[in-house]
Homo-oligomer: A and B are copies of this chain.
Amino acid sequence: MATAVAGPEIERLIQLLARLPGLGPRSARRAALHLIKKREALMAPLTAALQTAMDKVQVCKTCGNLDTQNPCTVCTDVRRDPSMIVVVADVADLWALERAHAVNSRYHVLGGTLSPLDGVGPQDLTIDALISRVHDEPIKEVILALNATVDGQTTAHYITELLQDADVKVTRLAHGVPVGGELDYLDEGTLAAAIKQRTLF
């Protein structure tokens, strides 16, 4: 069906762009055309930025963040509170917490969550490294910032058990009404948790 109207090179570019999350086949075609038309203003700098990222971005050997420094900017930031560590499943979660200025500590990226159904076990995540860090660093609190899903909470429980003998407080994110959220769109579990964990006005 997809005739190679414009030669295999452009078709290949479209196919690769279509594999980006958020772009379907139709929008990938539009994106390719946009890039080709904005050759100097967009395609050239994007190609260069990708090449730079290819050459320079690494996985932080300490926390699993992605950065051009190793250890990463977050790990080497001396103004961060060394007594806390925030455990996240994915680098995207780390970035989201940083954008929210939610916490001023360091992180540990697990690389996913435990998922027996998908065959993801403890050995597939950086759980061993987390336990070592908790013992080696002056950490007093481990904040489990994991999704409120079955897999996320399974992972949280697993880590909590492993840390039972360590001298640290293990905490997790509060449940509640999202800021700006409308009550009648929320599920019953969230509403019940929001009532239970209510705070003084």
Contact = CB atoms under 8 A, between A and B. Distances in A.
Interface of A: 1-7, 9-10, 12-13, 16-17, 19-24, 27-36, 39, 42-47, 49-54, 56-57, 65-69, 72-74, 91-92, 94-95, 98-99, 101
Copy number of this protein in the oligomer?
2
B21 A22 contact: no
Given A9-B52, A17-B46, A22-B27, 9 more contacts: A5-B74, A7-B73, A9-B49, A10-B66, A19-B42, A22-B28, A33-B92, A35-B50, A43-B50
Given A43-B50, A50-B43, A29 B95 contact: yes
A9 B99 contact: no
Nearest to A28: B22
Q: Which of A6, A35, A45, A57 has the most CB of B within 10 A?
A: A6
Contacts of A45: 12, 16
Contacts of A65: 5-6
